[in-house]
Amino acid sequence: MSLANPNRYESIRCVLMDIEGTTTDIEFVHSVLFPYSAQHLPQYVMDHEDDTTVQKCLLGVRQTLLDENEVTEAHTHTCIQALLHWIATDRKHTALKTLQGLIWKTGYETGAYQSHVYPDVLPALQRWQAKGLTLAIYSSGSVAAQQLLFGHTPHGDLAPYFSHYFDTTVGGKKEMASYQDIAKALALPPEAILFLSDMEDELEAAEEAGFQVIQLQRDDNVISGHVPYPVKRSFDAILP
Ligand SMILES: [Mg+2]
């Protein structure tokens, strides 16, 4: 891979973005969203136990607990305790992500908080949209949670900038097959897609699938040693 080739991004037709550590400060998720969902989850599940979506989530939690031999039967109370533990340990479980999406919706809509998006993101979205690029998100948070986050930023509603949202229902972010499926869904050859993420193992999987990749380094730590991917500190210098 040549970092010096100035034309390497000319074929790009889509920018696919990670959220945490890329468009958004990881602290927002850990200091605002996770505590809010932990605080409101027990009551939310008990209040909405008969809703179809919540029932499906509880089934998913039960199945995982039984599969992992954590319990021999899982009542709602046991499921809630497991969900709280998964929030604390940042487990990427689809049922948890769905429930968190529902709870965060309430938080956004009642104005309990706004999301965080780095100030260089909106100008980049405008710039890339003007170039005719497709803009898409791939994050471990559910699609509903992603849309809420971009719908309630201090810079306004950014959700309409993105034509595609992908979450872990397409597969894990460290698996090459997930990126192959995303390319199919976008109807683009992999090399026409630029993936932006702060995580090396995600970039590795995307690059294996043939994507172009850039690593975001949002904090002030000096990068030392071998850097396998092009690194940028903000979106300003990406497809300027
Ligand atoms: Mg990330």
Please write the tens of the pLDDT for every residue from 30-76.
899 999 999 999 999 999 999 999 999 999 999 999 999 877 888 99
For residue range 194-240, list pLDDT tens digits in order. Answer: 999 999 999 999 999 999 999 999 987 666 667 789 999 999 999 99
Q: How far is the CA of 61 from the centre of ligand 1 (A)?
A: 25
Domain 29-109's class?
mainly alpha
pTM: 0.85
Per-domain boundaries in the chain: 14-24+115-232, 29-109
Decide if domain 14-24+115-232 falls under CATH 3.40.50.1000: yes
Q: How far is the CA of 165 from the centre of ligand 1 (A)?
A: 15
The pLDDT of residue 1 is above 50: no
What does each C-alpha distance from 108 to 17, 37, 46, 93, 97 come to in angstroms? 22, 12, 21, 22, 16
For residue range 137-174, list pLDDT tens digits in order. Answer: 999 888 988 999 999 999 999 999 999 999 989 999 99
What is the C-alpha separation between 28 and 8, in angstroms, rounded?
33
Q: How far is the CA of 51 from the centre of ligand 1 (A)?
A: 32
Spell out the residues 6+ positions from residue 94 whose beta carbon is closer than 8 angstroms to its own.
60, 142, 168, 169
Q: How far is the CA of 173 from the centre of ligand 1 (A)?
A: 10
* CA 47 remoteness from chain centre: 27
Q: How far is the CA of 134 from the centre of ligand 1 (A)?
A: 20
Spell out the residues 6+ positions from residue 222 whose beta carbon is closer than 8 angstroms to its own.
none
